[in-house]
Structure formats: structure tokens, C-alpha cells
Amino acid sequence: SMEALVACRITRDEHVAEQLRANSDAEVCGELLQCISSLSSMSRPAGMDSATWSVWRKKDKNVIVHLLEARLEHLRDASKATPAPLLVRVDQYEQVVRACGKITVGDSQGDALGARLAAQSSDFAVEALLWISESCEQVASSNETWDVRLSACEKGVVAAVDAKTRVRGDSKEGHARDAYCEGTVTRLNGLKTRLEREKEEEEEEQRQVEKALGDQKRLEEEVRAAKKVQNEEKLRKAREERLRK
């Protein structure tokens, strides 16, 4: 029956989300992506209404496949020296979060089975948000400018807080990501505080260096001015001596 199909699909998605929480390395994500992508050509099962089928397909294409593709590229980019690609992954993860929201509030309205399919998308939104935080933390820990690092850190905190809020609002008691979300928020807030302190220390050091250079320049100018006055005095005295003779 259609109810049984939807129940199987929800169970599958729960297992996928659980697997990503346990291990999201390149091998696991690659295998999951291959399996889910192979179902893209699947035809609508007999007896399944178009509204439920729409949620089914959009959840695979716009949520799970995009999430896995972004994660694979994220893992590849994390080994590079430049953080710029990681910021691209943040954009991709944000697209997944938006897709989860669209499915939940859009396609599922008035359709009980579609709503059940859509509701479980929140788990994938949480993973996407936490991977946004991970990407931002990697950028914040790079050798980029202070502004880029602090901006990434702030964005990571916002994503982690969003994930925590979604987890706390979940009807399932004791969500598997609750402690991880809380730890991520705490860690990123600590990193942000450390970066702000280090930036201030560096700026203060730069101000001290600039002040010392300014003081040295003024001292050199004063010495030159004194020598000029001294030389002019010597010349004046020499002229007066010549006149007396």
C-alpha cells in the first residue's frame, strides 16, 4: 500500500540521517549518494498520489542528494590551504536547509503522508547546519584576515544555534544531536572570544609599533632641526668674525 511505501521511505531516511550522525566520511557519503542517485529514475508507484510523490522526489533531489554532494566536496576542500571553497560549501548547505523548509511548509500541506515524509527532513537540516558550523570553524581557524575569520565564526555560531533550536523543538525526546549542538555552540563562542582577543592584542601591538615609529620620526626631526639651528648659529658667528676683521 502507499502507507507502507511511505513508512519504508521514512525508515530509510531515518537510517540515512543516523548513518550521517555516526560517520560522514567520504566513503560513507559516496556510497549513500550512489544508492540514492540510482533511485532517481524510479517511476511513481501505482496508487501513490502526485502530492506525496512530489515530496518524495524533492526530498531526494533537493535535500539528501545535495547534502551528500556538498559534504563530499566539503571533505575534499577541507584539505586545501585556502578556505574560499569552504565558504562555497556553506552556501550549498544553506540551500539544503532552505529546501527542507520549503518541503515542510509547502508540498505537505493537506496531505498526511506527504507531511510525514517532509517532517523527517528536519534531521537533514540539522546536519546541514552543523556542517555549516564545521566549515565556518575551519575558515575561522585558517590564516585568513581577522574580518573573514570573525565573520565565519559568527556565521557558524548562528548555524549551530539554529540547529540546537531545531533539535530542542523536535518531538523526539533526547535527540541524538542535542549534546553535539550544545557543544558546537559553546566551542564556537569560545573560538569567537579568543579571536576577538587576539585581534585586539595584534591591533594594540600594531598601535604601539606605529607610536614607537612616530616617536622615533619626531625625535629624528627634532635632532635634524637642532643641528640646523646649530649650523646656522655657527655660520652667523663665522660671518660676524669675518666682519670684525
**Joined grid coordinates for residue 36:** 540514492
pLDDT of residue 7: 83
Tell how far CA 134 is from the center of its chain: 6
72 Ramachandran zone, left/alpha/beta (phi>0; psi -120 to 50): alpha
pLDDT of residue 174: 58
pLDDT of residue 175: 67
150 contacts 191 by C-beta, under 8 angstroms: no
**Joined grid coordinates for residue 130:** 552543523
Query: Which residue, among 148, 31, 27, 36, has the nearest Cα to 87 in the 3D structure?
Result: 148
Tell how far CA 176 is from the center of its chain: 21
Please identify every stretch of the chain with a pLDDT value under 70, giving residue numbers as ranges. 1, 81-82, 104-113, 170-175, 245
pLDDT of residue 172: 55
pLDDT of residue 93: 92
Report the predicted TM-score, pTM, of the whole model to 2 decimal places: 0.78
Residues in the chain: 245
3-state secondary structure of 38: coil
pLDDT of residue 156: 93
Neighbours of 41 (CB within 10 A): 6
**Joined grid coordinates for residue 158:** 548562528
